Amino acid sequence: MIRHFVLLRFRDDVSAETKSGLYQELGRLRDHLPGIVAFHGGPNVSVETDLIRGNRDAFWVDFADENARDDYLRDQSHQEVGARIVAHTEGGIDGVTVVDLRF
């Protein structure tokens, strides 16, 4: 299994509704990409505010394997919602951090 973490630094003017809509779009990818096992997204509620480095939001996707993750990365719908996320983050792509773990 691959867990794909994405840490986000959304701009201050991005509403909770906009963020929720983006997460919902990502979650719906599970309906047409069979290798997605789970999706979760939302605000970072850590009390270690000095350590979050502005990453006040995050999501993760669990994939059955690396092939499923790679299919997701190539998927047109994923790329479209990803572009909208980047457009809402501080500094564009600089507002996005990705970590993949195998377990």
pLDDT at position 99, please?
Answer: 98
pLDDT (tens digit per residue) in 14-73: 999 999 999 999 999 999 999 999 999 999 999 999 999 999 999 999 999 999 999 999
The pTM of this model reads 0.94
Non-local CB neighbours of 26 within 8 Å, separated by 6+ positions: 39, 41, 59, 61, 78, 81
Paired tokens of 93: 């792509």
**Using CA atoms in the order 70, 74, 75, 76, what is the torsion angle rounded to 10 degrees?**
170
Q: Which CATH number belongs to the domain containing residue 73 in this structure?
A: 3.30.70.100
* Total number of domains in the chain: 1
**Residue 55 near residue 48 (C-beta atoms within 8 A):** no
**Residue 1 near residue 37 (C-beta atoms within 8 A):** yes
Distance CA(44)–CA(17), nearest Å, equals: 16
Distance CA(27)–CA(11), nearest Å, equals: 22
Residue 69 lies in domain:
2-102
